[in-house]
Amino acid sequence: MSSPHQYPTEPLWLRALLWVVAVLLMLAAVVYQRSTGPTYPRQGSFAAGGRSFDYSLVRSDWSERTNDAARVRLPDPGPQASGTLYWKRYRTGDAFTPAPLARETVEGEAMLVGRLPAQPAAGKLEYYLELETGEAALRVPPAAEANVVIRFKDHVPAAILVPHVILMFFAVLIGMRTGLAAIFAPSSMRRWSWVALIGMTVGGMVLGPIVQKYAFGEYWTGFPWGGDWTDNKMLVMWLSWVFACAVIGFRPKRRELIPRAAVLLGALVMSAVYLIPHSMGGSELDYGAVEQGVDPAEAIRTGKR
């Protein structure tokens, strides 16, 4: 009877190279998520007085439980400039409410600042700004672009949020390294597969729902109870690695082609999941239900409406 397949240990240079590639892939995934997600600031620029000013418009903030308004900031192009912030509740027939911008110094920089009223958790506001520079009237963002949408959430303690984020980055790093191992360095494939699964389980399936509970009042809003893309993405990714680890087990097989394919599949699913922007199809307050007397905590919906 033949013995299970035993892989020789790969040279150090190859293992080091695969770690470098895995780190680059993880960083690429993080940058892509940050630049495409609907909760990260809207970046842009406007011209005034022969200069270009870069702006960053907030798209996520704390809810009304923090008793604070979200601040919208534009660089101050000069003393002759003035502006107005226009906002309304998202997906409603409300008229836009104007709010004048005030001059403030923020971290040593002169800014024009407007304030958006805090909303219940998962509440969203739609807004844009109009700026008079003394030379021209500008709309920010430009009229050709969609208005900015900001979503509010309840406070998540750093003791929960920080480990969640670190473990998810860790799981992506190990998952990418494991997928590379399945192709180029299978001697370490089995060990790293289990490490990736443990990181995803603790970071995503344990701490993730706790973060969701703090932020929006529910532990889980994905399948089968809701359409939250973030929860569903996490579930699909986690199940792919549960399948991979079930296939590979703890000891080498006589035929390792299928275990290697299962691990590679897990890494490919992880890559596909991270190509979907973070927080899309997430929790959203149904203002129509609130107006009918539903408690805001019970009027949160998920998925596209």
Per-residue pLDDT of the chain (305 residues; tens, 9 = 90+): 444 666 777 889 999 999 999 999 999 988 888 777 778 899 999 999 889 999 999 999 877 665 577 999 999 998 899 999 999 999 999 999 999 999 999 888 999 999 999 999 999 999 999 999 888 899 999 999 999 999 999 999 999 999 999 999 999 999 999 999 999 988 889 999 999 999 999 999 999 999 999 999 899 988 888 778 889 999 999 999 999 999 999 888 778 899 999 999 999 999 999 888 776 667 899 999 999 999 998 998 876 54
Task: For each of the domains in the chain, give its residue range(s) and CATH number, in order of start.
Answer: 12-36+157-274 (no CATH), 42-153 (2.60.40.10)
149-197: per-residue pLDDT in tens?
999 999 999 999 999 999 999 999 999 999 999 999 888 899 999 999 9
pLDDT for 61: 87
Beta strand segments in the chain, E: 42-48, 51-57, 60-62, 70-75, 82-89, 97-100, 102-106, 109-116, 124-132, 137-140, 148-153, 284-285, 300-301
β-pairing verdict for 124-132 and 148-153: antiparallel
pLDDT for 1: 40
Tokens standing for 226?
């809701």
Contacts of 132 (CB under 8 A, 6+ apart): 81, 82, 83, 138
**DSSP code of residue 9:** P
Q: Which of 164, 168, 161, 163 is nearest to 237 (CA)?
A: 168
pLDDT for 2: 43
Radius of gyration of the chain (CA): 24
d(CA 112, CA 99) in angstroms, rounded, equals 12
Q: Model-level pTM?
A: 0.84
Strands laid side by side in the 102-106 sheet: 70-75, 109-116, 102-106
CA distances from 77 to 49, 100, 103, 104, 135 (A): 7, 16, 11, 13, 11
Identity of the amino acid at 159: A
